[in-house]
Structure 1
């Protein structure tokens, strides 16, 4: 299964020059833990960073910084890792594990933002696959009981 099949296509975005308070309000409004920072390039939204709720806590609140004086560019994780929507889920999960990150913006072949995949999405997929495997065992037992 590809990342494009399981990713969330409704991505909350901001631009680097937005105030971090605006970004926090968007996270709250949309009930998400991150916003993808984009730049417009030739009519396409290209991810250039990501700002997470953890970034806000660790960098702004714990740093005792005034959020009204900070732009997203001041706090975001720049040089964002992305995943192509055609990539398979297992290699993506391995990369997320290796990088120690929970979310990856999903891009198409042109590098345009098309979604976001989170660790939770991969866990949901794995849980579904495990349920399917468990169902095989249950069906096998029922079949054996009928044949007895």
Structure 2
């Protein structure tokens, strides 16, 4: 089974939730809860563009609150991981996996012009590996 032939664009999640860097963490938590997601990409508005500047994951929130008592009105920049690490959508899943492994992160996927087009997690790659090995059929067959 080779992940070299699988493009990131084929397995990434395309519905990426973003929020501006000025937003407070309470709003970020609500966005995560309502959408049942584990991360939000933080962007800076520049003219009509949204430039990704960081990402907030559930892990970032727990880590930050574990170090100090927090207030839900604190800005997202207090909690976000930065700089954002990204990969282009035409990269291979293997390249993405290596980048994720060496940085212990989820990856924001950008197109050639730098726009956010998706997000890739370990689960996305794991799902693809299960499909390629036929184990997905076994899971659905035996429930």
TM norm structure 2: 0.85
Aligned to 2:90: 86
1 CA distance for matches of 2:21 and 2:11?
27
Name the residue aligned to 1:68. 72
Is 2:143 the partner of 1:104? no
1:55 is the counterpart of 2:60:
yes
1:116 aligns with 2:130: no
Bigger Rg, structure 1 or 2: 1
> Could you say what secondary structure the match of 1:67 adopts?
coil
**Over residues 75-121 of structure 1, what are the superposed CA-to-partner deviations in whole Å (9 max), with x where a residue is unaligned?**
101101011011011111111111122x1111000111111011100
CA–CA distance in structure 2, aligned partners of residues 21 and 7 of structure 1: 27
> Equivalent residue for 2:140?
none
Q: Of 7, 11, 16, which residue of structure 1 is paired with 2:12?
A: 7
Structure 1 or 2: larger helix share?
1
3-state SS, counterpart of residue 22 of structure 2: coil
Partner of 1:39: 44
Does residue 20 (structure 1) correspond to residue 25 (structure 2)? The answer is yes
Runs of 4+ with deviation above 4 angstroms: none
Q: Is the 8 A contact 2:21 2:42 kept in 1?
A: yes
Unaligned runs of 5+ in 2: 1-5, 138-143
- Aligned pair count? 132
Q: Secondary structure at the match of 1:51?
A: strand
Structure 1 unpaired stretches of 5+: 135-148
Q: Distance in 1 between matches of 2:13 and 2:28?
A: 19
